[in-house]
Structure 1
Amino acid sequence: MLNFSKTFNKYEALVAQTDKLFSNIQDAYKDCVRCKIYCCDCCYAVFDLTLIEAVYINYHFQKSLSKTDQRQVLARAEKADRRFYQIKHRLQKMYLRQGMSSEEVLLHLARERAACPLLNSDNLCDLYKWRPITCRLYGIPTSIGGVAHICEKSGFKEGTAYPTVNLDNVNARLFELSKELLREIGSKEEKTHMRLVPVSTALLTDYNREYFGI
């Protein structure tokens, strides 16, 4: 089994920083941050994971869930994967054929809704402790590619200035960690560190030696 421990430790340090950011904004804007148990609005957002996040969540999926729970999640992942790629294929055609800018594509993507395969029938995340950074920041103001985003269920108002997390900076660090992960295991697949996949694909993928070209 491949050992990702060094890079995982660095990723977990970034997660801790992210959680601290969320906590600080939550403390400062208690009436605006309305995240609570069973609220799963973020679980229907469509987004991709960087390599480090994908490998990390796959690792804990394999390690932390029973075989029965894994089978249930994988069944949902197969359905979600088809849905996600339909969405991305449609947006790609809009980008190529209609001349949409990348910012416009991001806006369209933000409006898409599809259930995460880790969302169970109790409206809880099966891997909440190891959820991706996008999930951890969803309830506070963020921006990516110059486009601001606020959770519709929050109390934050458009047009009002708030502390905002720049996801471009977060993603830059995630790409760096993805590159470090490849170096840690001795992979020659250098371009793999830029690969982005939805949660469903991350769960369905076997991140073994063959995948990394070792």
Structure 2
Amino acid sequence: MNLDLSQFFSEYEALVAQVDAVFKKVSGNFVSEVRCKEGCSDCCHALFDLTLIEAMYLNSKFSGLAEIRRNEVLIEADKADRKAQLLKRKVSKDAAEVDQAEILMRTAKERLRCPLLDLGDKCALYDYRPITCRIYGIPLEIGGKSHTCGLSGFEPGRPYPAVKLERIQDMLLLLSNRVLDAVGSKYDDFRLMHVPVSTALMTVYSDGYFGCSDSLDQDSTVAAVDESGGQNA
């Protein structure tokens, strides 16, 4: 695409640095409770979505991987994306019958392997992982309630300082909307759009994708796997 994203990415990286600093402080104050360590991939099976700025940033870093590795990841991304869509349809259907808090609890229990995980359960883009991945192991406040990783040592019912995840999300949305303003997107629904990691990896963020060119892309998502299971040329 024609837009230079370097300034937006720099601002996003600054926010990431702040989040990392918070995680470091909390893990330092609660050494026995925060149990994140190399080899633990529990958060890599959580169902969550990315804002536009996160998705585009991750996509840009993904493009720097070797082609053979990208193709391997895209195959897994296609599988994960199909499963994510099925889970979202189920959640949407249940939303008419149960309250938002129950929906959040059910979603948190769903398991979806991240396509960036290799066979050794290591992330192919660890240094560039999304913010949710960076703070999963410490208490988070979501919808006014505290949530903690099930593998952590934080005791249910006890008060702990919690990161207000919605505030971070608000900042990410503001940055995402500035990108949309700068690119001149015609699509208002993009302003609240969130996508899973799998979709972020498979999407081509071109001018056409944003509705900014005369010849719009008819299919901006990479078809990683065809019906027979082979890779597209």
Range of TM-score over shorter length: over 0.9
Alpha-carbon deviation of 1:161?
1.0
Match of 2:87 in 1: 87
Work out whether 1:170 is the aligned partner of 2:168.
yes
What are the residue-to-residue correspondences of 1:32-181 with 2, within 5 Å? 32-63=33-64, 65-96=65-96, 98=97, 100-181=98-179
Tell whether the 8 Å contact from 1:179 to 1:190 is kept in structure 2 after alignment.
no
Q: Which runs of no fewer than 5 residues in structure 2 stay unpaired? A: 213-233
Match of 2:10 in 1: 9
Distance 2:191 2:128 in 1: 20
Letter in 2 for 1:94: D
Q: Deviations over 1:129-181 (max 9, x none)?
A: 11000000001000211232111111111111111001110100010010011
Work out whether 1:210 is the aligned partner of 2:184.
no
Tell whether the 8 Å contact from 1:7 to 1:184 is kept in structure 2 after alignment.
no
Distance 2:105 2:50 in 1: 18
Distance 1:180 1:155 in 2: 39
Letter in 2 for 1:74: L
TM-score, normalised by the number of residues in structure 1: 0.95
RMSD: 1.0
Please identify the structure whose Cα radius of gyration is greater. Answer: 2
Letter in 1 for 2:56: V
Identity, % of aligned positions: 45
Count the aligned residue pairs. Answer: 211
Alpha-carbon deviation of 1:189?
2.8
Distance 1:10 1:110 in 2: 29
Q: Which runs of no fewer than 5 residues in structure 1 stay unpaired? A: none
Distance 2:185 2:31 in 1: 45
Tell whether the 8 Å contact from 1:4 to 1:184 is kept in structure 2 after alignment.
no
More helix as a share of residues: 1
Alpha-carbon deviation of 1:86?
0.9
